[in-house]
Amino acid sequence: MFKRRVTSCFGCLLVALLGLMHVAQAHASATLLLEEPYGRLGAFTGQGHAAVYLDRVCAKTPLVLRRCRDGEAGVVISRYNRVGGYDWVAIPLIPYLYAVESRDDIPLFADQKLVAFLRDQYRRKHLESIAPDVEGGEMPVGNWTQLVGSAYDRTSYGYEIETSETRDDELIEVLNAQSNRTHYWTFSSNCADFAKEIINFYYPRALHRNFLADAAITTPKQISKSMVKFAKRHPELDFSSYVIPQVPGSTPRSTPVRGVIESLVKTKKYLVPLAYLQPVVTASLALVYMGNGRFDPVRDPMVLNSGRGLKPPLAADERRTYQSQLQELLSRTNPELNSSRNLKEWGRVQANAVPELDEEGRPALQLRVGEEVFELGVSRSNILTNTAPAELAQQLVAARLEEELKRSPVPKASRADVISDWKLLQQLLPTEASLN
């Protein structure tokens, strides 16, 4: 039923999560994740990545599926290029997004050094067979990093539709029985092709490629578009969509996802020389995009709220109010410090710190202040219980808020997350400095 071939689809769709963090859901569901592109390859192609989140399917191992037990949140399954020679790999939801195993341990603010550390910790515990140590016990390079910590690299969009437990069992049987070896091919067997096959297993012919807008290549954005159209044609099916924000931090921000023709007509380095050499062709491509390639993944979004559920985003007027109050709060503690300077200062502090796990296995930073060495917890589970000066924890949470409150066409946080972070910052400040 599925083709035995792999792909990484130069940008590939990411498959979503939706009611995903509700411990007990009334029905099974499959979520198509559309993930934004990042890095140099993402800037070059713009297609992103695609994956599928299954809330009633879990992983016995990353390569063997089973039904979930009570309390388990399911897996994200996707096709990758050059990851252990396998066609697909299944990773539990929270590690897939955040490279930690508990939602309470998600770092509040992440840089590339902390992300690499958390990924390597998870690899050593769960993925040694897929990405073994290199000589000397060092962390290997390669695409295995796409398996964990996706939300540090990019914003994703989830499109969830109800399924049945019976079809879940049949999918598990099919994928476990077939040969899981890669035959990746960008043009016909990429990540979006695999995600399309999974959704079409539940709903035959629901998703399809666009021969005009994407030059016959299956892209993450196109299958997301066809998923939304399929849901509109079948209102009897429960359907939801939402945003999974990129974790606040100093890691580069991801860029908007695009189709093949869209990348040509919206990227100057492609469009200008093409328009000069082939103006008729350029005009034709623009017409194809206008007629077949447009799709806004951000329309009326809910936001995944730190892995706990779907919440509305912060309204524009509330964002501006919080920005003003954050500036006032910081000026009370340090008159020379404003929010943007705080963000830069925290980035410098974190860059000089050493990532580690505390005694409970939670993310932390080892910091040197003068001749003393301190430990600072960097997640909700341990930021209030550490040995570091309170000012450092204040800087961390203020930096997170500064990132969340930046103006953006895509929600950077839910309203509930911003309120929670604001309360956390006030807990860390001296009583006389807090704003009521």
* Total residue length of the chain: 436
The residues near 215 (Cβ < 8 Å, ≥ 6 apart) are 260, 261
Label residue 270 by pLDDT band (50, 70, 90).
low
Contacts of 243 (CB under 8 A, 6+ apart): 155, 156, 157, 158, 298, 301, 302, 303, 304, 313, 410, 411
Q: Which residue has the tokens 């390859």?
A: 41
Alpha helices by DSSP H, listed for 267-338, are 268-277, 279-288, 316-333
Among 304, 44, 273, 55, residue whose Cα is nearest residue 161: 55
At 396-415, the pLDDT tens digits run 999 999 999 999 999 999 99
Encode pLDDT of 220-254 as tens digits: 999 999 999 999 999 999 999 999 999 999 999 99
> Which DSSP letter does residue 328 get?
H
The full DSSP string for 2-55 is --S-----SS------SGGG-SS-SS-EEEEEEE---HHHHHHH---EEEEEET
Q: pLDDT tens for residues 34-54?
A: 999 998 665 556 789 999 999
Note the pLDDT of residue 147. 96
At residue 433, the 3 state secondary structure works out as helix
- From residue 248, give the alpha-carbon distance in Å to each of 116, 229, 311, 412: 15, 32, 18, 8
Instruction: Give the residue, 420 or 1, on which the prediction is more confident.
Output: 420
Cα dihedral sign, 283-287-292-294: positive
Residue 7: pLDDT band with limits 50, 70, 90: very low
CA gap 266, 11 in Å, rounded: 16
Alpha-carbon distance 345 to 333, whole Å? Answer: 15
pLDDT at 289: 54
Backbone angles phi, psi at 185, to 5 degrees: -150, 120
What one-letter code names the amino acid at 315?
A
Q: What average pLDDT does the segment 382-394 reach?
A: 89
Q: Is there a contact between 9 and 33 (Cβ–Cβ < 8 Å)? A: no
Residue 70's pLDDT is what? Answer: 92
User: What pLDDT, in 10s, does the model give residues 181-202?
Assistant: 988 888 889 999 999 999 999 9
Nearest of 237, 208, 312, 219 to residue 14 by alpha carbon: 219
What percent of the chain is predicted at pLDDT more than 70?
Answer: 80
> 249: which DSSP letter?
B
Question: Measured at the alpha carbon of residue 419, what is the angle toward residues 414 and 424, in degrees to the nearest 5?
Answer: 125
- Band (pLDDT 50/70/90 cuts) for residue 8 is very low
Tokens of 297: 């993944």
What mean pLDDT is reported for the chain? 85
